[in-house]
Structure 1
Amino acid sequence: MRRLSLPYRQPPADTVRADDWMLVVDEEQVPLPSHLPDWDYRMNLHLRRTVEIDADALRAAAALPPNAPVALTVVWTASGSGLRASACRVPVKATERDFIDLEVRIAGADLGGLLALETVIVLDDRMVDGSPVAARRAGSVLWRERRELRLQGDAPQFPLAVVDFERTSFPNDAGWHLQISSNLSAATMGAMLLLINERNSVALSAFQNAAKPRAVDKAVLSSIYMDVARTMIEHALRSEEFSDTAEYDDDTLGATLLALVDQLFPGSSINDLRLRMESAPTHFASEIQAAVRVFGDD
């Protein structure tokens, strides 16, 4: 395993003690899990943690003067959206010990895929004079900790919107509708949109409660995810250009559909799946239902 060697002294790990990240839901705090299977793009994330820093020991071990400007910052990166941003930045006091309460809020619309949270202690300003073994440039990393959160479970995820179906061409009593482009080379984020009917209180409540779903919400979300997966698979198989030899750029609709097919039907060829759908469409729909594990315990 290769280890990055920095050209300046870093403090030992025991100069910093970071509590676990906590997920705040309805003002209740729960330990941040490794994944949120019921997450959707309307769910904003609210996170908290406390970091204890032995400020004197940290600066001394890094060969920095007692008043060296040091800051604690949190940077997040979302693979689904490709976005990266600083969530907060707090100066580390020039005291023996500093307890810093971190509070991070990230809009769900900016997220997707794998969320990486990096808690970092950096030199907050350029050091003109100082030890030759000490960090000098602003932004030099003195301590780093990374935590990952998977925001996409087994079901496909993409942007959604709540609309009044009475103002659309969709049936007034329908709960949802998936809009999907025929252009498989288009970016997934712009090629699919899940519409939720605001008049359907059951479907709407399920998404509103996605962070802390009730039993009924879990059942509704499972039904929606299964129906969305079926729509996506059948949409892909009806496209003549969709095949095992097709190549699509990352983050395109074609790549997303290929990944979904591989996930739900590993080892099956596109041609075989297409024949199964065409010869026995209702049976194939049940195969998708089983592959998605609708109402499953996981």
Structure 2
Amino acid sequence: MTRRVLPYRIPPEDVVVPEAWLLVNEAGELDMPEALPDWDYRMNLHLRRRVRVDLDRARSGSGLPDDAALMLSAVWTATGSNLGGPAQHVRLAEGGTRTVDFDVRLRGADLGGLLLLDTALVLAERRSDARPSSPRRAGSVLWSDRDSLRLQGDAPQFPMAVIDFARTSFPDEAAWHLQISGGMESATMGSLLLLVNERNTITTTAFENAGKPRPVDRIVLSAVYADAARVMIEHALSVDDFGEDADFPDGSLGATLLSLFEQLFPGQSITDVRLRQRQSPALFASDLQAAVKIFEVS
């Protein structure tokens, strides 16, 4: 772990002994993997971690008095949704060694992309009596680490809702519809919404089983992904500002579409693909079908 240079004293790294994050599911607890290949936005996450802190050494190593209140904090950030927030905070005012058990539950609808989990030991309150070389501001970091979990899956990686298409302007018998709104610099999570027709039980069941899909569910999810990719790429190519030199903010719709384009058409220029799509839309549709590897299920 890279050690940051801070304008105040910090204790040795071994004053905090963290155990690995655990992923909790129906089968019990397992070490958090690097990626969840079957994750989708309807899958909530339950994570646990145990951390042991030597409070006396943490204070003395930082030049803090024995009564300085510390706090152990866990914070999450999701790159796909551009959302984040506190997971759990535990105030540590006593002495000796303290064991803290984090128990974190995150909504799948708030996640996406890379889930970052930051754990930090910080000064809980401002210390006006601190030495010049000691931390004094509330929130001063004494120790920290970061873990990550890549969330990926067969289902399209954006929010979805199950509704009755009969109550909308969409055809009653349509299975799904991908809505795209906002400009290229708008946040992806607020620009994309997959609507699934509750009357189409085959599709709704496939998404319900996305965590543990059956062969038929994988085929349905593959079809949805292929169609969503087509809509997204066609939308991108219709925007004149969408090009190789575009610089879209992280977490924006433009950045998401650019990433999808590079994934589906590696080594090809946007100009060439846009020209092919306009001159021969039928051939382009076949190119896109091949790029998404439709119905290639394991």
Tell me the TM-score normalized by structure 2: 0.83
Alpha-carbon contact 1:72-1:89 (below 8 Å) kept? yes
Stretch moving more, 281-290 or 228-237: 281-290
- Check 1:154–1:277 CA distance in 2 against 1; reply closer, same or farther (3 A cut): farther
For 1:252 and 1:61, locate their aligned partners in 2 and report how far apart those are by CA, in whole Å.
Answer: 42
For 2:142 and 2:263, locate their aligned partners in 1 and report how far apart those are by CA, in whole Å.
Answer: 40
> Would you say 1:41 and 2:41 are equivalent positions?
yes
Q: Which residue of 1 aligns with 2:294?
A: 294
- Report the Cα offset of residue 100 of structure 1: 0.9
Q: Which residue of 2 aligns with 1:4?
A: 4
For 1:12 and 1:94, locate their aligned partners in 2 and report how far apart those are by CA, in whole Å.
Answer: 19
Q: Which residue of 1 aligns with 2:30?
A: 30
- Check 1:201–1:97 CA distance in 2 against 1; reply closer, same or farther (3 A cut): farther
Stretch moving more, 226-235 or 108-117: 108-117
SS at match of 1:49: strand
- Check 1:176–1:4 CA distance in 2 against 1; reply closer, same or farther (3 A cut): same
For 1:267 and 1:91, locate their aligned partners in 2 and report how far apart those are by CA, in whole Å.
Answer: 52
The letter for the 2-side match of 1:170 is F
- Report the Cα offset of residue 153 of structure 1: 5.9
For 1:96 and 1:215, locate their aligned partners in 2 and report how far apart those are by CA, in whole Å.
Answer: 54
Alpha-carbon contact 2:24-2:30 (below 8 Å) kept? yes
Q: Which residue of 1 aligns with 2:243?
A: 244
- Report the Cα offset of residue 228 of structure 1: 0.9
1:197-236 alignment, distance < 5 Å: 197-236=197-236
For 2:182 and 2:56, locate their aligned partners in 1 and report how far apart those are by CA, in whole Å.
Answer: 60
Q: Which residue of 1 aligns with 2:16?
A: 16
Q: CA RMSD in A?
A: 3.1
SS at match of 1:232: helix
Q: Which residue of 1 aligns with 2:102?
A: 102
- Report the Cα offset of residue 210 of structure 1: 3.2
For 2:71 and 2:182, locate their aligned partners in 1 and report how far apart those are by CA, in whole Å.
Answer: 49
Q: Which residue of 2 aligns with 1:256?
A: 256
For 1:117 and 1:14, locate their aligned partners in 2 and report how far apart those are by CA, in whole Å.
Answer: 19
Alpha-carbon contact 2:160-2:193 (below 8 Å) kept? yes
Stretch moving more, 139-148 or 17-26: 17-26
- Check 1:124–1:115 CA distance in 2 against 1; reply closer, same or farther (3 A cut): same
SS at match of 1:224: helix
SS at match of 2:52: strand
1:1-298 alignment, distance < 5 Å: 4-26=4-26, 28-92=28-92, 94-152=94-152, 157-181=157-181, 184=184, 187-237=187-237, 239=238, 241=240, 244=243, 247=246, 249-250=248-249, 251-278=251-278, 280-296=280-296
What is the identity percentage for the equivalent residue pairs of Structure 1 and Structure 2?
54
For 1:283 and 1:87, locate their aligned partners in 2 and report how far apart those are by CA, in whole Å.
Answer: 48
- Check 1:9–1:262 CA distance in 2 against 1; reply closer, same or farther (3 A cut): same
For 1:216 and 1:18, locate their aligned partners in 2 and report how far apart those are by CA, in whole Å.
Answer: 42
SS at match of 2:127: coil
- Report the Cα offset of residue 217 of structure 1: 3.5
Alpha-carbon contact 1:35-1:153 (below 8 Å) kept? no
For 1:43 and 1:75, locate their aligned partners in 2 and report how far apart those are by CA, in whole Å.
Answer: 19
Stretch moving more, 277-286 or 156-165: 277-286
Alpha-carbon contact 1:75-1:85 (below 8 Å) kept? yes
Alpha-carbon contact 2:45-2:108 (below 8 Å) kept? yes
Tell me the TM-score normalized by structure 1: 0.83
- Report the Cα offset of residue 48 of structure 1: 1.0
- Report the Cα offset of residue 186 of structure 1: 5.0
> Structure 1: 5+ residue runs without aligned partners?
none
> Structure 2: 5+ residue runs without aligned partners?
none
The letter for the 2-side match of 1:14 is D
For 2:73 and 2:182, locate their aligned partners in 1 and report how far apart those are by CA, in whole Å.
Answer: 43
- Report the Cα offset of residue 279 of structure 1: 5.2
For 1:193 and 1:249, locate their aligned partners in 2 and report how far apart those are by CA, in whole Å.
Answer: 20
SS at match of 2:63: coil
For 1:77 and 1:268, locate their aligned partners in 2 and report how far apart those are by CA, in whole Å.
Answer: 32
- Report the Cα offset of residue 220 of structure 1: 2.9
For 2:289 and 2:221, locate their aligned partners in 1 and report how far apart those are by CA, in whole Å.
Answer: 13
For 1:41 and 1:19, locate their aligned partners in 2 and report how far apart those are by CA, in whole Å.
Answer: 27
For 2:91 and 2:229, locate their aligned partners in 1 and report how far apart those are by CA, in whole Å.
Answer: 47
Q: Give the length in aligned residue pairs.
A: 297
